[in-house]
Amino acid sequence: MVAVAGVDGRRGGWVVAVVETDPVPTLVSLDFAAPLRGALREDLAVIAIDMPIGLSDSGPRECDIAARRLLQPHGTRVFPAPPRVALGHADDYDAACRASIAGTGKSLSKQTWNLLHSIAEVDALADDPRIVECHPEVAFALIQGHPVDERKKTPAGREVRLGLLRRWLPDLGNPAYGDDGLDAIACAWSAARIAAGSALTLPAGEVPRDDAGRPMRICA
């Protein structure tokens, strides 16, 4: 038996999907966790999380550019990762913007700044080699063979994504936690592929690392 987890951020914490991949993929649990550390079971082979891990202080990450290209015409679903220099300013938007401008020449959107607490929580755990950055929309695009056109927060978008996940988990019912639940399961799909050695890694070739030694990559 191989157990993997997919993790997606949700207000106040995380949605964690645990899947056992052998003999057939089975969703074991879909739970809310806060903090994340308590959900990282020792028996999990891979933990794929939809949150930036490697953070560039020298411009856009190659993995984000590659993911946006893969998802065209929906590349804006990949948010720009903040620079590492902003990570210590999760409680002060103006200070985070000043740090980002000083380091990269660009400010931060409020949407990106709102992720800093979650990114910092993952960064504190990222020495665990099982933790890998992924992106659920990349996973859905790979399952389907092309990007999903429907927006995930619409009924049609949920139905399409749920149908794609049922190709992997035929007995999947109607998961809780809205689109965050579907995204967590999509992250678990990526985790299973990582564990099997069959995942796509963006960018292709040698994986760049940030100043903290974290890999700047997206796997699916």
pLDDT of residue 59: 85
Reference 210, options 86, 51, 52, 54; nearest CA is 54
Distance separating alpha carbons of residues 9 and 118, to the nearest angstrom: 8
Distance separating alpha carbons of residues 1 and 126, to the nearest angstrom: 25
Token digits of residue 120: 């910092």
User: What would the CATH number be for the domain defined by 1-80+131-220?
Assistant: 3.30.420
pLDDT of residue 58: 86
DSSP 3-state assignment of 170?
Answer: coil
Please report, for the chain, the start and end positions of each structural domain, with discontinuous segments joined by +. 1-80+131-220
Alpha helices in 71-211 (DSSP H): 93-104, 110-113, 116-123, 136-144, 155-168, 178-196
CA distances, 189 to each of 4, 57, 134, 136 (Å): 9, 30, 10, 9
- Answer yes or no: are the C-beta atoms of 135 and 64 closer than 8 Å: no
Distance separating alpha carbons of residues 89 and 17, to the nearest angstrom: 30
Residues in the chain with pLDDT < 50?
none
Q: How many CB atoms lie within 10 A of CB 48?
A: 33
Q: What is the pTM of this model?
A: 0.96
